[in-house]
Amino acid sequence: MNKKQKNLLLRILSAAACVAVLLLCDRMIPAWYIKLLLYMIPYLIVGHDILKKAWKGIRNRQVFDENFLMTVATFGAIAVGIYNATHGGDDDYLEAVAVMLLYQVGELFQSYAVGRSRRNISDLMDIRPDYANIEEDGELVRVDPDEVEVGSLIVVQPGERIPLDGVVESGSSTLNTAALTGESLPREVSEGSEVLSGCINQSGVLTIRTTKEADESTASKILDLVENAASRKSKSENFISKFARYYTPIVCYAALALALLPPIFLAVTGRNPMISEWLYRACTFLVISCPCAVVINIPLSFFAGLGAASSQGILIKGSNYLEAMAQVRCLVFDKTSTITRGNFEVSAIHHTLLEEEKLLEYAAHIECHSSHPISLSLQHAYGKHVDAGRVTDIQEISGRGVTGKVDGVPVAAGNAGLMKDLDIPYKDCHHPGTIVHMAIDGKYAGHIVISDEIKPSSADAIAELKKAGVRKTVMLTGDSEKTAQAVAGQVGIDEVHAGLLPADKVSLVETLLTQTGRNEKLAFVGDGINDAPVLSRADIGIAMGALGSDAAIEAADVVLMDDDPLKITKAIRISRKCLRIVHENLIFSLGIKVICLILGAVGIANMWIAIIADVGVMILAVLNAIRALFADR
């Protein structure tokens, strides 16, 4: 509980104690106005901020809110008490105080629950680095990660969290990445491995040279993203704020009509107008109509849903995307690193005029600045030091390959499309796999065949998606038709488009978007390398294996922290459960409201029932919302 909540709790308790004393001494109070004054003490203790907020609302011309409803209703109840007292009836002010008191109990509960679930999201992602160890004169000193400069050496001991992104300088260990990915499989690291902040060092001491500042490190980026997620409002939340804008004034006018029309009618027809009775009913009506339970449960359910997702390593950037995930009917996949591992291995080298070693050397050098998985595998296959200083005029052509100069000699590496663009005759290959054609000094110099593995869970993931009601699965790739068909066939994807440039992927997604129904959504899943435009064009852009890929974290709406395509169905399941809870709560709380409103209008429900129903419904709704936190466990 924070200070504000403790304060409110204290006020509630002291007001309740006051009321108890007043009830015990009821007989000893000599006159109705003294009793009124005495009851005003707990009333003001517990409700003064509501009165103040209502007054502020009136002054700012935003009259109709819950504070206003509560103020008018309790003032009305006090007025009824005074009227009764001066007309020889019962002087009862308890009701007004009790309504205020219970309303505040509800408020306290609500702010506690919202605070809890908001914190829960970042708690679940318990990755905030607290300190970094720096070696000074042979001793380890703890410093704030913010103060560590890029390129510094930090020491991470077993059991400690890695505070900053970097590269292992010495030592080896296993890392627990569960906080980032939701997976408990440990990752082995040793000299030269890249490590990400937020992981926990399990076994050995690691000395790490930092590559990023604290703000730029993975852990901070992810926390930012998670903490801002709730500010992107879902459609249901927008609906509710619109709803409250019309609902509250309507209710107020209805209450006014209820207070005035029947007495006027009774008076005109010559009967007793029963002014206090109708005023009381109008006040009851106001209390019942207070929309707190309805208003609170929606953002709360979404908080909980976002939390459930992030604990599984699925970061959703806003409630709107969580909502949209439930309606995904068409899923479009990128091939490389999405369906396949993206760990290419060189499997053959053909038709080369040079030595294979020499060809690989050219390939590794020309690719030295590319972050494409192909580039990484070529450098891996070359295995020797790549001297970036030998390379000039590099141009990476998305979906085609790379051109540039190595030692001043023009070199091109890429697919058949690139060779056609450069007007260089090339030799086709019948090997299965992705072909990197090489041209050196304007002449064809052979090709390198590299092959990629399909992820073990890809086929299951597609089957799961079909089970979850996804109608259509499509694979887009810049790779050749043959490789694409082979992969799609193995995993069971419905539709394949190959040989695409990033721009073609965008236009294909646009065509697919026109084919999806009105309440259906299209999601694109990619690795964030050269498919950022498509990620942002789809209804939902899902970036996969985004650990460490900044571009993907920026461009995507949903980030899957590990490479597992099964997480897509999981995200859909969580979002559906969350939405179901939202709808349940909406129907339940609105239903109870309507019933109470009718009972209140005909005079069956009194103010006690009204406030208890309201607070009760709210508490039940909040508890139901919290259920979303445990979605898909």
Q: Which is nearer to ligand ADP, 479 or 564 (CB)?
A: 479
Q: Which is nearer to ligand ADP, 70 or 346 (CB)?
A: 346
Q: Is residue 479 at the binding interface for ligand ADP, with CB under 6 A as the rule?
A: yes
Q: Are 497 and 475 spatial neighbours (Cβ–Cβ below 8 Å)?
A: yes
Tell me the β-bridge partners of 201: 175
**Residue number, 91 or 334, with CB nearest to Mg ion:** 334
**Cα–Cα distance for residue pair 303/285, rounded to 1 Å:** 31
How far apart CA 124 and CA 283 sit, in angstroms, is 44
Per CB under 6 A, the list member of 413, 461, 488, 561 interacting with ligand ADP is 413
Quick check: 530 binds ligand ADP (CB under 6 A)?
yes
Residue 415: which of 431, 436, 446, 443 has the closest Cα? 436
104, 370, 403, 575: which one binds ligand ADP (CB under 6 A):
370
**Helices 66-86 and 32-59 meet at what angle, rounded to 10?**
150
**Residue partners of 119: CB distance under 8 A and separation at least 6:** none
Choice from 334, 557, 564, 614 touching ligand ADP (CB under 6 A): 334
Minimum separation from the CB atom of position 193 to ligand ADP (A): 23
In this structure, which amino acid lies at residue 210?
Answer: T
Return the residue nearest ligand ADP (CB atom): 478
Q: Does 600 bind ligand ADP (CB under 6 A)?
A: no
Question: Residue 384: which residues within 8 A CB-CB, separation 6 or more?
Answer: 361, 364
614 contributes a contact to ligand ADP by CB under 6 A = no
Of ligand ADP, Mg ion, none, which one does residue 401 interact with (CB within 5 to 8 Å by kind)? Answer: ligand ADP
Least Å distance, CB 10 to ligand ADP, is: 60
Residue-by-residue DSSP string for 297-324: HHHHHHHHHHHHHHHTTEEES-HHHHHH
Q: Tell me the chain's radius of gyration from C-alpha atoms.
A: 33
CB closer to ligand ADP, 221 vs 400: 400
Residue from 284, 336, 473, 569 in contact with ligand ADP (CB under 6 A): 336
Nearest approach in angstroms of CB 357 to ligand ADP is 19
95 part of the interface to ligand ADP, by CB under 6 A = no
CB-based contact 287:69 (threshold 8 Å): yes
CB of 559 to ligand ADP, least distance (A): 17
Binding partner selected for residue 436 from Mg ion, ligand ADP, none, CB under the kind-specific 5 to 8 Å limit:
ligand ADP
Residues binding ligand ADP: number (CB under 6 A): 22
80 vs 553, which CB is nearer to ligand ADP? 553
Q: Does 367 bind ligand ADP (CB under 6 A)?
A: yes
Binding mask 335-374 for Mg ion (x = CB under 5 A): -x--------------------------------------
Binds 592: which of Mg ion, ligand ADP, none (CB < 5-8 Å by kind): none
Q: What is the dihedral of CA 260, 264, 265, 268, to 10 degrees?
A: 180
Q: Give CA 625 to chain center in angstroms.
A: 16
**What is the C-alpha to C-alpha distance for residues 88 and 86, in angstroms, rounded to an integer?**
6
Considering only the stretches 30-38, 289-297, 333-341, 545-553, report the one whose residues sit in contact with Mg ion under the rule CB under 5 A.
Answer: 333-341
Q: List Cα–Cα distances, 611 to 162, 290, 293, 595, 601, in angstroms.
A: 51, 9, 11, 14, 15
Longest alpha-carbon distance in the chain = 114
Q: How many residues bind Mg ion (CB under 5 A)?
A: 2
Residues numbered 247 to 276 that lie near Mg ion (CB under 5 A) are none
Is residue 374 within the footprint of ligand ADP (CB under 6 A)? Answer: yes
**Using CA atoms, how far apart are residues 57 and 553, in angstroms rounded to an integer?**
41
Stretch that binds ligand ADP, among 124-132, 367-375, 460-468, 580-588 (CB under 6 A): 367-375
CA-based nearest residue to 458, from 325, 326, 334: 334
From the CB of 414, what's the least distance to ligand ADP, in Å?
Answer: 4
Angle between helices 566-601 and 458-467 in degrees, nearest 10: 20
Asked if residue 400 binds ligand ADP (CB under 6 A), the reply is yes
Q: Which stretch binds ligand ADP (CB under 6 A): 42-50, 153-161, 175-183, 472-480?
A: 472-480
335 binds, among Mg ion, ligand ADP, none (CB under 5 to 8 A by kind): ligand ADP
**How much of the chain is in helix, strand and coil states, percent to nearest 5?**
55, 20, 30
Q: Which two tokens stand for residue 214?
A: 């604290």
Give yes or no for residue 541 binding ligand ADP (CB under 6 A).
no
Does 379 bind Mg ion (CB under 5 A)? Our answer is no
Backbone angles phi, psi at 56, to 5 degrees: -60, -40
Per annotation, catalytic residue among 334, 452, 557, 562: 334
Binder among 372, 455, 573, 593 for ligand ADP (CB under 6 A): 372
By the 8 A CB rule, do 523 and 538 touch? yes
Q: E-assigned strands of 532-589?
A: 540-544, 558-560
Closest CA to 340 of 482, 452, 462, 505: 452
Between residues 291 and 399, which has the closer beta carbon with respect to ligand ADP?
399
- For residue 218, the SS3 value is helix
483 contributes a contact to Mg ion by CB under 5 A: no
- Catalytic-residue membership of 550: no
What count of Cα atoms within 13 Å lies in the side-chain half-sphere of residue 58? 10
479, interface contact from ligand ADP, Mg ion, none, CB < 5-8 Å by kind: ligand ADP
**372 token code pair:** 């494409």
Residue 590: which H helix or E strand, with range? helix 566-601
Output the smallest distance, CB 530 to ligand ADP, in A: 5
| 254-262, 296-304, 412-420, 533-541 -> range binding ligand ADP (CB under 6 A) | 412-420
Interface positions with ligand ADP (CB under 6 A): 334-336, 367, 370, 372, 374-375, 396, 399-402, 413-415, 434, 436, 477-479, 530
- Tell me which residues are annotated as active site: 334
**Residues at the contact surface with Mg ion, assessed by CB under 5 A:** 334, 336
